[in-house]
A and B are shown apart, each in its own frame.
Chain A
Amino acid sequence: MSTTVASSSSGNKMQMEVNPRGIPRAPFVANVDDFVSGQNGSAEGIIKSFQETSAKYRYMEVSLQQRKKALSTKIPDIEQTLSVVLFLQRRRQKALGQPITEEEGGDEDGDDLDDLEDDDAGDKEGKEEPLKTLFELNDTLYAEAEVIETGEVGIWLGASTMLLYPLQEAADLLSSKLGAAKKSLGETIEDLEWLREQVTVMEVNFARVHNWDVKRRRDQKNSGAGAIAAAASKGDEEEEDEEDDE
């Protein structure tokens, strides 16, 4: 019996294993016999606790899926805003006759684009023309507007607040937000994959303990008194189990 205790305590150690966001790993039942006897021999109680754990994993899964959805609409939003800000910034620098600093901090993984030359080449023409835009008033309704370039943009921060930022600061802010959102999305996806695995493990555990339980009961019935005498040492729970058997 001491060996089973040892193995079940190593099973507990596995239970403590967590992924980077603290979601615990599901315990895997390697040997049903050992596992059940390690848990006071009550298959009923084990199945119940398995179901609880599964339900927790599923709950987490649903909330993470929502988060993933929110992030995957947010990221293109930020990307688009950033690309407009960068565009305005380039225009502004050109208008002021400043050298064009293609920092492109916001561009994906920070890989700087090599269209520096392109910009220099086209530097002469189209310098002072006002920027005309068509902007969306509502779905399918557009209005024309001329943009007065002040070197600042208003960024909608949420909570009914919009702040004016200088272009450079706006670009920095947006790219840092974009990076954070992407990182968070990556982590969420990782967590979801992790959760899926744990749910599968729990399902397998559940099925195996259940089958084991069914088999044990049938054996008990079939083999009669000898088996009952052997099982009697395991305690009273089994009798309770039998009432629920259907």
Chain B
Amino acid sequence: MSLLPPEDEGDDGIEVAWEDQQRINTFSKLNNRLSDIQDQLKGKQEEKEYYDDLETELELAYDDAKVLYKMGEAFFHLGLSEAKRQLRRDLKKYDGEIQTLEGKAGECERGMKELKVLL
């Protein structure tokens, strides 16, 4: 039934201290959290890039041009300056979100580094 040779199976091999167990748990928790955050971050950054592209695009547009600006599921006909204002608002929102995510990711990495030393 046992696959291990008997001498490897002694109590010392099996003993797991509660503290170590907790550290391992925390490490795996942080690792999971980090990959979760990185996924989110990637998505947000991609979306933000679209807005960045849009920003350069709008810089080139004529002053009296009408822009179809998407909010939610509908497009709105907006004047250029209004579109730019909305764009700035949206960009700011993304910047904020990305910053908080990056902060959280940094926290996870720091925690993992500390645990690596201990383990």
Contacts and interface: CB of A to CB of B under 8 A. Distances in A.
B14 A208 contact: yes
Interface residues of A, number: 41
A63 interface: no
Interface in B1-49: 1-2, 6, 9, 14, 16-18, 21, 24-25, 28-29, 32-33, 36
Contact of A108 (B6, B24, B97): B97
A214 B68 CA distance: 71
Interface in A125-174: 125-126, 129, 131-136, 142
A196 B86 CA distance: 42
B75 interface: yes
B119 to A, nearest CB: 15
A208 B13 CA distance: 10
Contacts, number: 92
A204 B16 contact: yes
A136 B85 contact: no
A111 B96 contact: yes
Given A84-B71, A118-B88, A200-B25, A245 B1 contact: yes
A174 to B, nearest CB: 11
A122 B28 contact: no
B81 to A, nearest CB: 5
B82 A122 contact: yes
Given A197-B25, A214-B2, A108 B76 contact: no
A246 interface: yes
B contact residues, range:
35 or more
Contact of A133 (B24, B76, B88, B97): B76
B74 interface: yes
Given A115-B88, A122-B81, A126-B79, A134 B33 contact: no
Given A115-B85, A122-B81, A122-B85, A214 B1 contact: yes
A196 B32 contact: yes
A230 to B, nearest CB: 17
A178 B22 CA distance: 34
A200 B28 contact: yes
16 contacts: A30-B17, A80-B73, A83-B72, A84-B72, A87-B86, A108-B93, A111-B96, A122-B81, A193-B33, A197-B28, A200-B21, A204-B21, A208-B14, A208-B16, A211-B9, A218-B6
Interface of B: 1-2, 6, 9, 14, 16-18, 21, 24-25, 28-29, 32-33, 36, 68, 71-77, 79, 81-82, 85-86, 88-90, 92-93, 96-97
Interface of A: 28, 30, 32, 80-81, 83-84, 87, 107-108, 111, 113, 115, 118-119, 122, 125-126, 129, 131-136, 142, 189, 193, 196-197, 200-201, 204, 208, 211-212, 214-215, 218, 245-246
